Amino acid sequence: KKMKLNEKESKAITNSNNNNGNMIKPNRISIQEQRRKLPVFDKRNKLLELIRRHKTLIILGETGSGKTTQIPQYIYSARLQENGKIAVTQPRRVAAISVALRVAQEFGQGMTVGDVVGYSVRFEDVTSKKTKIKFLTDGMLLREAMFDRLLMEYTVVILDEAHERTIHTDVLFGIVKKAQKIREERNLTPLKIIVMSATMDVDHFSRYFNNCQAVYLEGRTYPVSVFYTVKPHDDYQASCVATFFKIHKEAPPNHDVLIFLTGQEEIEACAHQIRLLAKDPEVQGPPIKVCTLYAAQPSTQQMTVFQPSQPNTRKVVISTNIAETSVTISGIKYVIDSGMVKVRSFHPSTGLELLKVQRISQEQAWQRTGRAGRESEGYCYRIYTRSQFELMKKATEYTPCTSISWTNPPREAVVAAFEQLRLLGAVENLDSNNLSPIGKKMSKFPLDPRFSKILLAAQQYGCLEEALTVVALLSSESILLSPPSKREQAHNFNSVGQSNRRPWCHEHFINMRNILHAREVRNQLEEICKKGDLVISSCGSQMNQLRKCLLSGLFMNVAELHRDRQYITLDKRQVVQIHPSSSLHGQQPHYVLFTEVVQTNKCYLRSLTTIEGEWLSEIAPDYVKSRNIRFNKDT
Ligand code: ADP
Ligand code: MG
């Protein structure tokens, strides 16, 4: 079963010059020594020279070469940022937080994050007046750009992980380019732009920035032996667990394992299984430490992944594709690759954001494989067959995710977006770009405009108390553990004493971390409401008030029951179903309001509630009329 890498494959992940076969134990050597060992270190002066000389620069380098953690520090110590700040954007909050913590630690001298090095992600701003290197999510920098188009706070903007493109990144590229140009025209402090990426495919970035210079940093990776399964496996999650225990039995202690799965639910389930099986006296091998890594985890939890493991134990990290390129965990010797990934994509034609589990591309498979060869030779177990691998797409075949058109979005999409803002009452009319008074109030919230609208509308329905809770929960990862055999109201959580929370959460199948996060989000939204003089009142048991309030923001997300238990969305006439995990599954209400469509083999609605059809004409008459919404039943 063991597959020798063919030449091309091994070239993709090996740099034999550096292959001395010795294990490097990074937790045994000092942090400054680790820094000097990174491939970027030798290029430090050359890089600084290039950054000084060019107003825009592209830096390419394999994952783990030190781009994210080192380059901002080099710029800072050479004072290239002069009187401004350095912004480093990340597509994911986990990466922004973990990298900021790491860089603060590398600064040494008891530097804590929030000092010179800080981070800012939605609902969490850990920066101060002293902050000079600020890690932030693409979305946060976009928000800052809403209030200052020229980003005057910064003299250097680093757009990191540019290969991981989201709607936010795309818009950000445009904004940063424009800010640079206007600042130049107006003789303001210049803005330097640095684009960093782990993949070679950068011609389009270069073209977008007027054929700017690109530099390539050589990476340092060791050979990785790749294994495939003989037969295809449907249940890749179970196969990952089984493969882990096979490795665990044979591998020496502290040869850590990284498992790639698709999302929180899968990862938590897999972690649970491993913890459970590890207790089995039959299982041989050192004690197991299970760590999980996914986007919605609070930072404290995430950081445990990066702690060096105790001697004579085995760490297993179960992660989404975050660990593919965004973060590097030391000590990984084995990779188990499920071959699957969950992608969020936006469909301009339906206007829906879809979460879809799909096969990874061959490039992604190689990225994952490479994670096993960071510090010494490694092993990668692919939970798919060689022929399945051959069938995987090349990343470039994915459209529209990676085929980049740096043109304006299609006119219809822009019109649709304005139309949505108009229907929400955020802009006065289609001809004016100006926000209405409501629109201005809406922009104060770091939320999707539809959610901001809900909070504002809650005044009228007397249910801001409840609306805040719902919006906070919808803005956080699910607080329900899966598979839940009971579904309780999260409300009671607040009345549970500090020391009883853990057992309470356990008993009610609630994810404690996520509920604490949701509560934090709620507090912040409440603050914004209070600043905007909104009255916080409760509708008590009159849940219709709350449902109507939700509809006033989400009127475009209504689905109607048709024959065969199928639902059809009123807006785009899409066939959808209620997700089996919903408490409404099997109840077949005539009308449902949803917030999310998840596409697996079918399109499923998640996070939903029942509404009355007639409310729609009452609450969004403009919408019903302008879209010519037709109801199936007389309601
Ligand atoms: P790149 O951006 O080129 O992928 P990074 O700068 O993120 O590389 O990482 C460089 C090295 O720094 C990694 O290989 C790893 O050894 C170390 N490192 C990065 N983040 C952490 C962390 N949170 N904890 C410990 N080590 C880290
Ligand atoms: Mg990086």
Average pLDDT over residues 421-436: 82
Buried b (16+ CB within 10 A) or exposed e, 196-218: bbbbeebeebeebbeebebeebb
Of all residues in the chain, the percent with pLDDT exceeding 70 is: 87
pLDDT at 2: 34
pLDDT at 485: 43
Are 337 and 365 in contact by the 8 Å Cβ rule? The answer is yes
What is the atom index within ligand 1 of the atom nearest the CA of 374? Answer: 14
Are 339 and 359 in contact by the 8 Å Cβ rule? The answer is yes
**What residues are paired with 337 via a beta bridge?**
260, 382
Q: Is 304 in the pocket of ligand 1 (CB under 6 A)?
A: no
pLDDT at 404: 41
Q: DSSP secondary-structure letter at 111?
A: -
**What residues are paired with 476 via a beta bridge?**
none
Are 184 and 177 in contact by the 8 Å Cβ rule? The answer is no
Q: Which helix (H) or strand (E) holds 530?
A: helix 512-531
Are 317 and 259 in contact by the 8 Å Cβ rule? The answer is yes
Reported as a pLDDT band with limits 50, 70 and 90, residue 633 is low
pLDDT at 27: 47
Euclidean distance between CA atoms 296 and 529, whole angstroms: 24
Residue nearest atom 24 in ligand 1 by C-alpha distance: 306
> ipTM above 0.95?
yes
Are 91 and 83 in contact by the 8 Å Cβ rule? The answer is no
CA of 280 to the centre of ligand 1 (A): 35
Which phi and psi angles does 141 have, rounded to 5°? Answer: -65, -35
Residue nearest atom 7 in ligand 1 by C-alpha distance: 68
CA of 566 to the centre of ligand 1 (A): 48
Least reliable range by pLDDT among 140-149, 427-436, 612-621: 427-436
Q: What is the mean pLDDT of the chain?
A: 85
Query: Among residues 238, 260, 225, which one has the least CA distance to residue 338?
Result: 260
pLDDT at 15: 33
Q: Is 65 in the pocket of ligand 1 (CB under 6 A)?
A: yes
Euclidean distance between CA atoms 211 and 374, whole angstroms: 32
Q: What is the DSSP string of 90-110?
A: ESSHHHHHHHHHHHHHHH-TT
Least reliable range by pLDDT among 384-393, 460-469, 624-633: 624-633
Q: Is 302 in the pocket of ligand 1 (CB under 6 A)?
A: no
Are 162 and 195 in contact by the 8 Å Cβ rule? The answer is yes
pLDDT at 355: 74
Q: Which of 145-149, 275-279, 628-632 has the highest mean pLDDT?
A: 275-279
What is the atom index within ligand 1 of the atom nearest the CA of 306? Answer: 24
List CB contacts of 425: < 8 A, sequence separation 6 or more: 436, 438, 439, 453
CA of 69 to the centre of ligand 1 (A): 6
pLDDT at 137: 94
pLDDT at 348 over 70: no
Q: How far is CA 177 from the centre of its chain?
A: 24
What is the atom index within ligand 1 of the atom nearest the CA of 40? Answer: 3
Euclidean distance between CA atoms 71 and 482, whole angstroms: 41
Query: Among residues 606, 600, 625, 599, which one has the least CA distance to residue 559?
Result: 606
Residue nearest atom 18 in ligand 1 by C-alpha distance: 328
Q: Is 39 in the pocket of ligand 1 (CB under 6 A)?
A: no
List CB contacts of 57: < 8 A, sequence separation 6 or more: 50, 51, 192, 193, 194, 195, 212, 213, 214, 215
Task: Give the amino acid at 307.
Answer: Q
Least reliable range by pLDDT among 68-77, 243-252, 393-402, 419-428: 393-402
pLDDT at 635: 42
Euclidean distance between CA atoms 318 and 334, whole angstroms: 12
What is the atom index within ligand 1 of the atom nearest the CA of 61? Answer: 3
Q: Is 38 in the pocket of ligand 1 (CB under 6 A)?
A: yes
pLDDT at 490 over 70: no
> Token digits for 229?
């399964």
**What residues are paired with 342 via a beta bridge?**
357
Give the number of other CB atoms < 10 A from CB of residue 547: 20
Q: Which ligand places an atom closest to the C-alpha of 159?
A: 2
The residue whose CB lies within 8 Å of the most ligand 1 atoms, and thus the one to mutate among 59, 69, 194, is: 69
What is the atom index within ligand 1 of the atom nearest the CA of 330? Answer: 16
Q: DSSP secondary-structure letter at 317?
A: E
pLDDT at 62 over 50: yes
Whole-prediction pTM value?
0.70
Q: Is 66 in the pocket of ligand 1 (CB under 6 A)?
A: yes
Reported as a pLDDT band with limits 50, 70 and 90, residue 430 is low
Euclidean distance between CA atoms 335 and 323, whole angstroms: 11
Reported as a pLDDT band with limits 50, 70 and 90, residue 199 is confident
The residue whose CB lies within 8 Å of the most ligand 1 atoms, and thus the one to mutate among 24, 30, 102, is: 102
CA of 31 to the centre of ligand 2 (A): 18
Reported as a pLDDT band with limits 50, 70 and 90, residue 9 is very low
Q: Which ligand places an atom closest to the C-alpha of 59?
A: 1
pLDDT in tens, 209-242: 888 888 888 777 788 999 999 999 889 999 999 9
Average pLDDT over residues 45-67: 92
Euclidean distance between CA atoms 122 and 143, whole angstroms: 10
pLDDT at 538: 96
What is the atom index within ligand 1 of the atom nearest the CA of 101? Answer: 23
Average pLDDT over residues 144-169: 89
Are 336 and 258 in contact by the 8 Å Cβ rule? The answer is yes
Omega before 400 within 30 of 0, i.e. cis:
yes
List CB contacts of 82: < 8 A, sequence separation 6 or more: 155, 189
Of all residues in the chain, the percent with pLDDT exceeding 90 is: 51
pLDDT in tens, 431-489: 667 889 999 899 888 888 999 999 999 999 999 999 999 999 988 777 776 544 444 44
Are 482 and 269 in contact by the 8 Å Cβ rule? The answer is yes
Which phi and psi angles does 44 have, rounded to 5°? Answer: -50, -55
Q: Which of 480-484, 546-550, 627-631 has the highest mean pLDDT?
A: 546-550
Of the CA atoms within 13 Å of residue 114, those in its CB half-sphere come to 5
pLDDT in tens, 316-343: 999 999 898 878 888 999 999 999 998 8
pLDDT in tens, 275-321: 999 999 989 899 999 999 998 776 677 778 888 888 999 999 999 99
Rg (CA), the chain: 25
Reported as a pLDDT band with limits 50, 70 and 90, residue 192 is very high
Query: Among residues 556, 552, 522, 558, which one has the least CA distance to residue 458?
Result: 552
Which phi and psi angles does 392 have, rounded to 5°? Answer: -65, 150
pLDDT at 351: 52
pLDDT at 349: 53
Q: What is the DSSP string of 150-168?
A: T-TTEEEEEE-STTS--HH
Q: Is 339 in the pocket of ligand 1 (CB under 6 A)?
A: no
